[in-house]
Amino acid sequence: MAVTLSMLLTVCPLAFLAAIVDAIGGGGGLISLPAYLLTGLPPALASGSNKMSACLGTLVATGKFLRGGKLLVKPSLCAIAGALPGAYLGAELLQLCDPEIIRILLVVVIPLMALILLFKRDAPEQSAPMTAGRLWGCAGIGLACGLYDGFFGPGTGTLLIMGLTYLIGMDMITASGSAKLINLASNISALVSLILGGEVLFALALPAAAFSIAGGYIGSYLAMRRGARLIRYIMLGVLALLIIRLIVQWFA
């Protein structure tokens, strides 16, 4: 498929913005995937190309959080151990259940999460010690978010940050950094499958990846510099976009 200048001008700036948003509070796919779809790509090819560019942006953001000491590796690996089978189970659930039932449930649950984020302002300023119980909790959060990712997908990073902050006791910046490593692992797993299936348009995804890398660097810098308040605002915006998307899909 030939890549035109118009396609590049549509995808690259939005990939840059999506990477900034994703590095701060998750949910960048709500911006970047529609950008690929706007160019007329089939859904599978759009998804694969989006994964390609987004993974590289997330990789850079993950590295910056790690170098800044705002990524806890052991809890992240525990969450990954839960997220990988969770994503598989979520995909299986998608094939077994009526999607409308789950969408209606999400229309109720996600606004509740937005309200919690809006009014619960007592996020830890420092991460709590990672006890065995908290590490098991990370695995449980990974499993739950993996289920969500396998079934629906958008905003998984945002849900991970909330879980790691309010259930595990990480400060919000460290939760954001740790969520990047968890997201990166699940995205690479999906990307390998999509590449093998020929569902990546490299001529479009690689230029967009350069913009995504720049956005991931800037977003992670802003998150560590501006702190929890910026992360909270971005997460609220992501949850609002999720609610709008769910309602549109429901009525459509």
pLDDT digits (tens, 9 = 90+) for 39-87: 988 888 888 899 899 999 999 999 999 999 999 999 999 999 998 888 8
Residue 215, amino acid: G
What is the value of pTM for the model shown? 0.85
How far, in Å, CA of 39 to CA of 180, rounded?
Answer: 27
How far, in Å, CA of 134 to CA of 229, rounded?
Answer: 24
The pLDDT value recorded for residue 141 is 94
How far, in Å, CA of 87 to CA of 199, rounded?
Answer: 19
The pLDDT value recorded for residue 121 is 65
The pLDDT value recorded for residue 108 is 77
The pLDDT value recorded for residue 195 is 87
Model confidence at 196: pLDDT above 90: no
DSSP per-residue string spanning 53-111: HHHHHHHHHHHHHHHTT---HHHHHHHHHHHHHHHHHHHHHHHHS-HHHHHHHHHHHHH
Model confidence at 125: pLDDT above 90: no
Contact in structure between 84 and 149 (CB atoms under 8 Å): no
**CA distances from residue 206 to 8, 29, 209 in whole angstroms, order as listed:** 10, 16, 5
How far, in Å, CA of 77 to CA of 138, rounded?
Answer: 9
Structure confidence at residue 252 as a pLDDT band (50, 70, 90): low
Contact in structure between 217 and 60 (CB atoms under 8 Å): yes
Structure confidence at residue 154 as a pLDDT band (50, 70, 90): confident
Q: Which of 100-104, 108-112, 114-118, 130-134 is least confident?
A: 100-104
The DSSP element (H or E) to which 139 belongs, if any, is helix 132-151
